[in-house]
Amino acid sequence: MHHSSKAVVEAFVRAINRHNVQDLAALMAAGHRFVDSLSNVVVGQEKMRAGWAAYFRMVPDYSIAIEETFCEGPVVVLLGTAEGTYAPDGALKPENRWKTGVALRAQVEDGLIREWRVYADNEPMRERMRKSS
């Protein structure tokens, strides 16, 4: 399971970086849980399909770069950076670009992501959101 868990998580990251909501949804377990860095929880594949689609509209160049991966059975931990440009009007303005360190924890079950948990300092993005309001 060690290698297959890692492969599932790597596929999930590739889908995020391609902004492919269909592939993301296909990799989510039916009771998928998304937990953000403020401990907000969203449960359900369909809710997260809509959530990712909305996020990709808000940050159209969002990407994750993974530097290290740790696997222990069904749990995969990724360390790296997340970056993008906050674009409420669709325009990629350099002053709205941000980059922050990120840790991600995935729980894989039966070849699907049961839980995706994000640990990141999202203040750089919130700052851009405040400036744009």
The CATH number covering residue 110 comes to 3.10.450.50
Q: Please name the residue that has the structure tokens 């596929």.
A: 11
In tens digits, what is the pLDDT along the chain, a chain of 133 residues? 445 999 999 999 999 999 999 999 999 999 999 999 999 999 999 999 999 999 999 999 999 999 999 999 999 999 999 999 999 888 999 999 999 999 999 999 999 999 999 998 777 667 777 777 6
Q: What is the CA radius of gyration of the chain?
A: 15
Say which residues have a Cβ less than 8 Å from residue 45's Cβ, sequence separation at least 6. 25, 28, 29, 30, 32
Q: Please name the residue that has the structure tokens 């953000």.
A: 36
- Identify the domain containing residue 116 by its residue range: 2-132
pTM of the model: 0.91
- Pick the closest to residue 80 from 94, 93, 95, 70 (CA basis): 70
Q: Please name the residue that has the structure tokens 């297959």.
A: 4
Alpha-carbon span 88 to 133, nearest angstrom: 9
Into how many domains does the chain fold?
Answer: 1
Q: List, as one string, the DSSP characters of 50-69.
A: HHHHHHHHHSTT-EEEEEEE
Torsion over CA of 11, 14, 20 and 24, rounded to 10 degrees? 30
Alpha-carbon span 14 to 20, nearest angstrom: 9
